[in-house]
Structure 1
């Protein structure tokens, strides 16, 4: 286990993230232009979607139905698990819902780093796992907003204006609000992933000669640049997280371990390979900082972004990058030998 963690720590992907983190902590003037960060993000989303679609075209419906069900199950379960853990630290409802949505959804960059890790250690995985990233984005957001509606109803049961507060026209409490649904199903990350996935699925292997020079050959290099940018962002968010106490910081470490363990177990139950189980653990153990925050800005404006974004970027993302991915891989390897 120590060798795996050390090997991951010394990979260029992690080292460039740490470089960005250090740059932010020492208040260096190193900055990434917003347009460049956005471009790198779009590149990664399209690359993963295309590769997932091409690989998915090689499988029959019967082969992917179990992973699809497992992914939707995890996306629906994880927000509930997060809320149960947050109940122990008595976080207010709105911020708890924000964290539930964030930790139930998925980090596309953590997933990309996990793919690089598996390539580095020479472990293959099912190609359709890239498609599961798309499916993991929305369920947690929808489930979290439903839970918010239920909790608000419970808290305000005795008040005479309950019908007005629970009306579907209220963006803060209604999971049927059109802006919420738009962000949950048609936000930029989802539309890019799903669109690229469908294009790859339709084109199949015929697309490889066209996309390989940019989206396959340069993938690892672009990921390095993006993680340098993310390291800077994470370092800037870290002081915000510290203000909320050690219990919240602990949640940022415990939740990915719990979620990742559930993901690996579910992957084992549906018969995935060691690489597939690892990626299912990464999907369940990561925290979104793109799709979920975009939806939360519309649906739960009272939730503090410095909490759900700061915790996801400042604590969970570096934890998964350094320790989480090797931990899920080791657990998957152990299950694979049983």
Structure 2
């Protein structure tokens, strides 16, 4: 009974958080036939500011970390982000009725990191007196960017293949030039992805944060504006989500199952990666737990605007609803599980 009460309390708390509250408000506006709209240039400006802020914050965190101690956990964090997206590409994205672009966008959010869930994990460890590395906050951009770029590239590859099939009457030419064409296709998509406004803004902010000293403009301009701009973005995405909600009626069960099961599976991947870092570098138990927490979490800040900018055809009802509505509560509730498991295997 206590477990059910905790689950319900966590879900209610999430409904009151700005991310989900503004998303629901946008859906209600659309349902009531409101004429509310944000001009497209204003929307694009908001997205660029949001992603520059995320990149700058990540760069500042990376620069302040110990480079030698950071290398192995950072590489493992990036590998976890990629692994989560690849797992989603062979599960959710191949579910009957789920479009590949919606499946990959959802997997991308689950591969990326929720800063609020990470903060909750740190708070739990602090209350339990479990120590962790000070550079943990610098790990999330490695997992975040790796997951989002992988999801965007795989979604665009799937779209290109489907377009080629339709042009060629449902069959792909697989002669001697096939692999060469495939390499050219993936190379072109990678180039387009890194040149896209969303990823470019994220990487530009990351580079400036690492190589320059943007703390003053970050604290005085980007940080105060961030939450307000994010709320407007979620309002827009809520209206889009309502308009496309009917697309999910036949496959809603797929997203529900993924939203509940994925954080637990992903957390186990993160836990395994943390144990590898422990054996290679002496990574602490708290670090192992927080790597599992990051893997179990799903992005509520950097992910939505990145995917909205890079994959505008993806359905926000699918990826934001599944991530924030289901994935985040499960990820937060699973934090004690990672503490217990890490204690067992590292005792």
Matched residue pairs, number?
Answer: 306
Q: Matched residues in 2 for 1:136 and 1:89: separation? A: 23
Q: Which moved more, 1:280-289 or 1:207-216?
A: 280-289
Match runs of 1:151-300 below 5 Å:
161-163=173-175, 166=178, 168-169=180-181, 176-203=185-212, 206-242=213-249, 245=250, 248-269=251-272, 270=274, 272=287, 276-283=291-298
State the shift of 1:85 in Å: 4.6
Q: Matched residues in 2 for 1:145 and 1:36: separation? A: 26
Q: Which moved more, 1:114-123 or 1:135-144?
A: 114-123
Q: Matched residues in 1 for 2:22 and 2:92: separation? A: 32
State the shift of 1:136 in Å: 1.7
Q: Does 1:314 align with 2:317?
A: yes
State the shift of 1:210 in Å: 2.2
Cα separation, partners in 2 of 1:87 and 1:6, compared to 1, 3 Å: closer
Q: Does 1:103 align with 2:101?
A: no
Cα separation, partners in 2 of 1:90 and 1:78, compared to 1, 3 Å: same
Q: Does 1:55 align with 2:58?
A: no
Q: Matched residues in 2 for 1:149 and 1:233: separation? A: 24
Cα-Cα RMSD = 3.9
* 1:132 aligned to which of 134, 139, 143: 143
* 1:6 aligned to which of 4, 12, 16: 12
Unaligned stretches of 5+ in structure 2? 1-5, 127-134, 275-284
Q: Matched residues in 1 for 2:257 and 2:72: separation? A: 30
Conserved in 2, the CA contact under 8 Å of 1:106 and 1:283?
yes
State the shift of 1:208 in Å: 1.6
Match runs of 1:17-28 below 5 Å:
17-28=23-34
State the TM-score, normalizing by the size of structure 1.
Answer: 0.73
Conserved in 2, the CA contact under 8 Å of 1:50 and 1:196?
yes
Q: Matched residues in 2 for 1:83 and 1:167: separation? A: 21
Q: Matched residues in 2 for 1:284 and 1:225: separation? A: 17
Q: Matched residues in 2 for 1:34 and 1:183: separation? A: 21
Conserved in 2, the CA contact under 8 Å of 1:53 and 1:200?
yes
State the shift of 1:53 in Å: 0.5
State the shift of 1:178 in Å: 4.7
Unaligned stretches of 5+ in structure 1? 298-304
State the shift of 1:35 in Å: 1.6
State the shift of 1:126 in Å: 2.6
State the shift of 1:212 in Å: 0.5
